[in-house]
Structure 1
C-alpha cells in the first residue's frame, strides 16, 4: 500500500482540524472522518460505555478499530487522502490519560504508516470551544496537542505545524506542502 498518499492532520481538540478537512472535501479532495467525535456521538445515542469520561481505555480501543478500518478503506481508494487524526492518536490519548498503551496499539501504529510529514494543528485559544462531544478544557486541549507531537515524533514522523490563519489559507498551505 502506498502510504505516502495518506496525509494526517492531528493536534488538540478545537484547533480547526475538522473545519479544515471539511474545506478540503468541499474543494474536491478525499478525506477520512475523525474517529473520536463519531464514536462519542454513537455511544451517546445508546448510552454506551465507550465514552472518554466513562471508560477511556475502551474509547481508545474503539478509536484504534475505527482508524484501522479507515486505513484499510483508504487503501482501496486512489489518490491522496486526508485523515482527521491517525492511528497514533489513540496512543497519544492513552498516554495523556495516564493509561498503559497495549502492545497491539503500538504494533498497529508502527505497521500502518502514513505520509512521513504529519500536519499538526497547534492549540489556538481564539477558536477553541467546548460542546456536547468536546468536553476538554483549554489546558487539556493544549496537552493533547503536545501528546500528539510526542507520539508522532517518536514514531519517526516529521511534524509540520499549521499556521494560525483562515481556513482558506490553511487549505492552500496544506495543498502547497503536499504537492512539494
Structure 2
C-alpha cells in the first residue's frame, strides 16, 4: 500500500534535510515544489517568485503538487513529500483571500502530517528563502491551522539531529501501521 506522507511546517525548519536522510535510507521522496519553482523561474527569468508574485507562485506550486501526487500514487511503500498541495493552497488563500483550502480537501495524503516547528538556530536566508524568521513562524501557524481544519493529525518533529528525526518519522509510521 502506498502511503503519501507529508513533511510540512516552518520554512527553514529542516524539512529538506530530513527528506535527504529519508532518501539516503531508501525511502521514496519528492522535493519541495516551491524550491523547484524558484530554481526554474530564476533560470528562465520568470516572475512566479514568492517575493514578486506570491499568487502566481502558489498557483504553480498547487499544479506541481497535484502532478507529484499523481506520479506517487502508483509507488509501493511510503512516499515522502517536502510540502504538499495543502501548503500551496494555504499560501494562495492567505495572499488572495479566496477560500481555496476547502476545494482541495478531497485530495488526501496520509492522515498523519509531520510538522517541522520553528527553530531559530536552523533558520537561514538563502537565494530561494528571502523572508525572515517571523514570516516563517506566521506561515507555520497558518499551516497548523490548515492541516488541522482538513482533519489531518499533526505530529511535531522533535528539535533533534536529522538521524533522530528520521527515526521518529519511521517509528511513528511503523506504529501507525500496527494500529
Using structure 2 for the length normalisation, give the TM-score.
Answer: 0.93
State the match for 2:96 in structure 1: 99
- 1:27 is aligned, of 4, 25, 28, to 25
State the match for 1:86 in structure 2: 84
Q: Name the CA distance, whole Å, in 2 between partners of 1:88 and 1:111.
A: 11
- 2:131 is aligned, of 126, 136, 149, to 136
Q: For residues 137-152 of structure 1, what are the structure 2 equivalents within 5 Å?
A: 137-152=132-147
Using structure 1 for the length normalisation, give the TM-score.
Answer: 0.93
Q: CA deviation at 1:92?
A: 2.0
The alignment partner of 1:82 has SS state of: strand
Q: Name the CA distance, whole Å, in 2 between partners of 1:106 and 1:81.
A: 24
Q: Name the CA distance, whole Å, in 1 between partners of 2:21 and 2:171.
A: 15
Q: For residues 1-180 of structure 1, what are the structure 2 equivalents within 5 Å?
A: 5-96=3-94, 98-101=95-98, 103=100, 106-107=102-103, 109-180=104-175
Q: Name the CA distance, whole Å, in 2 between partners of 1:88 and 1:110.
A: 8
Q: Name the CA distance, whole Å, in 2 between partners of 1:101 and 1:17.
A: 27
Q: Name the CA distance, whole Å, in 2 between partners of 1:174 and 1:76.
A: 22
Q: Name the CA distance, whole Å, in 1 between partners of 2:166 and 2:10.
A: 18
| Superposed CA RMSD | 1.4
Q: Name the CA distance, whole Å, in 2 between partners of 1:115 and 1:75.
A: 12
The alignment partner of 1:127 has SS state of: coil
Q: Name the CA distance, whole Å, in 1 between partners of 2:77 and 2:98.
A: 32
The alignment partner of 1:8 has SS state of: strand
Structure 1: which 4+ aligned runs deviate by more than 2 Å?
A: 100-103
Unaligned segments of structure 1, at least 5 residues: none
Q: CA deviation at 1:102?
A: 5.6
